[in-house]
Amino acid sequence: YADPRLHQHWLEGLRKAGREVIDIGEVPTPMAYFGSFHLRTGSCVSVTGSHNPPDYNGFKVVIDGETLSGDAIQNLHRAESMGLLSSRDIKPEYIQRIADDIQIERKLKVVIDCGSGVAGAFAPELLAAIGAEVEPLYCDVDGTFPHHHPDPSDPLNLVDLINVVQRVGADLGLALDGD
């Protein structure tokens, strides 16, 4: 779960530092990385809690193609002048880019458990675009994670997915983490 206030603070802070900001909205981390390439910025910030409990948040920061951590993130506080802000929806381009590269040979029935994480807004459509028949499970984005934590490394979080795969006779079950 990513606290929306952190998103707003990042936007304000980057603009106060004189940076032009393109806000691509609430997207999974891979789409943020795609956005930095697709929009030719070379940089991005993803506010994310990944698969942690809802009260945890963090940042994934890429500047000029380099992922920052530790002290490098702390050094981002220098202010200059107010930068620009624009918004872009890159979901169609993201899905099209992947669908152009990947098409499954035969129609597969796929159950996708997004664990109420942000990928739920994209993953079912993406799977359909590459030719899958999709059975969505917990794909409504809800940062309180009402069904289970979006942590596919914990076998307890896979119980519902396994049951649905068996019930619908799916070829494949996929579980995603929160971002």
Nearest to 176 by CA among 143, 142, 153, 156: 153
Inter-axis angle of helices 29-38 and 91-101, nearest 10: 90
CA 15, chain centre distance (Å): 23
Catalytic residue among 46, 50, 87, 116: 50
Q: Rounded distance, CA 136 to CA 123, Å?
A: 9
Distances (CA, A) of 2 to 42, 43, 44, 56, 130: 22, 19, 15, 8, 28
Residue 43 a catalytic site member:
no
- Side-by-side strand order, sheet with 172-175: 133-137, 109-113, 172-175
Provide φ and ψ at 30, rounded to 5°. -60, -35
Residue 53 structure tokens: 């409990």
- Tell me which residues are annotated as active site: 50
